[in-house]
Amino acid sequence: MDLSKYIDPSRIKPREFSTKGVNVEVRDLVKIYRVGKNISVPALRGVNFTVKPGEVVAIMGPSGSGKTTLLNIIGGVDKPTSGVAKVGDFIVNELDDYMLEKYRLCYVGYIFQSFNLIPVLTALENVELPLIALNVPKEVRVERAKWLLEIVGLSDKIHHKPYEMSGGEQQRVAIAVALANDPPLILADEPTAELDTRNAYNIINLLVELSKKFGKTVIVSTHDPRMAVRTDRILRLEDGVIVYEYTPDQLLLTQPRSDADLVSVIKTRIASIEKEIADLVDKLRRNEISVEEFDAKYIKLRNQAEALRDLLRTTGQ
């Protein structure tokens, strides 16, 4: 496992990305927190999934389901009790402290719900920070920070401090910070939770566009159905395990154009699935299908309906 090419500051160019996305593989991941001497709180109970290079994946689930814990383990912020988190060529939970520090600096860009910007620094200076940590020369890092802020649509805000910007603008600065050292993997923990509808859409579209344009792998934890339905795949995390996964097209069949349209599309699709289930039951009663065929189709339809109801609940309906 060699991070040398990633920690080499000479690889960072003023106005380009050279690192493409990587494969992420999570196998049998378990995380148990110890509270006191005799109390154990399981956060993850054996999580398994794979994310392909350049894919954008949403992890959805209720509060306490383990979403943030999962991202923290993949990002090298926390360690699992057992299991494996492999990112590219690196088994993250086997890295020593020195390697973990470099992995977090060069290999992973982390976007937080609370923006995580330094309030006394300008947008430009915030984006420069990870480049300074990588020992990138000043003329390169300043030019790169300006370019990254241009990419996220903030060329006119480079000298503004966080309190002088809206929540959406601060989150765009945070995305630029995450991209500063050209990492192959972007992790975003509830990136739209603090934003209004317009800014949430801007952030969603920006993350998906950046992934597709520059080939970055993006994993997003979210309660926001607007974000989930714009990703390549949705993983449902419940009580510390992945209970099912779908593409947005499998769930919705059509792409919503607005919040109101999203609610309408979800309700229409739920009604359609409920009719499919009713028709399936009728076929079973008429002996037109076997019990085995009924079970397989019913479970698939039931899980789709539950995933859609989960999306609908997050819209407040």
Domain boundaries, the chain: 9-246, 255-314
Q: Sorting pLDDT into bands at 50, 70 and 90, what band is 165? A: very high
* Angle (deg, nearest 10), helices 291-314 and 259-285: 160
Q: Sorting pLDDT into bands at 50, 70 and 90, what band is 256? A: low
- DSSP state string for 123-169: HHHHHHHHHHHTT--HHHHHHHHHHHHHHTT-GGGTT--GGGS-HHH
What pLDDT shows up at residue 309?
82
pLDDT digits 0-9 by tens, 282-314: 899 999 989 888 888 888 888 888 878 877 776
Q: Sorting pLDDT into bands at 50, 70 and 90, what band is 115? A: confident
What pLDDT shows up at residue 257?
62
Pairwise CA distance, residues 308 & 317, whole Å = 12
The contacts of residue 155 (CB under 8 Å, 6+ apart) are 146, 149
pLDDT digits 0-9 by tens, 28-59: 999 998 887 778 888 999 999 999 999 999 99
Q: How far apart, in Å, are the Cα atoms of 69 and each of 43, 72, 299?
A: 7, 5, 29
What pLDDT shows up at residue 317?
64
Q: Which long-range contacts (CB under 8 A, 24 or more apart) does 261-266 make?
A: 262/225, 262/226, 262/229, 262/315, 263/312, 263/315, 263/317, 266/225, 266/308, 266/311, 266/312, 266/315
CA nearest neighbour of 293 among 280, 278, 276: 280
Q: Could you tell me which CATH number the domain at 9-246 has? A: 3.40.50.300
The contacts of residue 260 (CB under 8 Å, 6+ apart) are none
Mean pLDDT of 261-281: 86
Q: Sorting pLDDT into bands at 50, 70 and 90, what band is 64? A: confident
31-53: burial string, b at 16+ Cβ within 10 Å, e else: beeeeeeeeeeebbeebebebee
pLDDT surpasses 90 at 236: no
pLDDT surpasses 80 at 255: no
67-102: burial string, b at 16+ Cβ within 10 Å, e else: bbbbbbbbbbbbebbebbbbbbebebbebeeebbeb
Pairwise CA distance, residues 148 & 142, whole Å = 10
Kindly tell me the burial class for residue 119, based on how many C-beta atoms sit within 10 Å of its own C-beta (0-12, 13-18, 19 or more). exposed
pLDDT surpasses 70 at 74: yes
What pLDDT shows up at residue 226?
75
What pLDDT shows up at residue 306?
80
What pLDDT shows up at residue 225?
76
Range of weakest confidence among 203-207, 222-226, 294-298: 222-226
The contacts of residue 53 (CB under 8 Å, 6+ apart) are 20, 21, 22, 23, 184, 215, 217
What pLDDT shows up at residue 1?
59
**What backbone phi and psi angles, to 5 degrees, belong to 218?**
-130, 125
The residue written with tokens 């860009």 in the block is: 109
* Angle (deg, nearest 10), helices 138-151 and 167-179: 130
What pLDDT shows up at residue 259?
65
Q: Sorting pLDDT into bands at 50, 70 and 90, what band is 252? A: confident
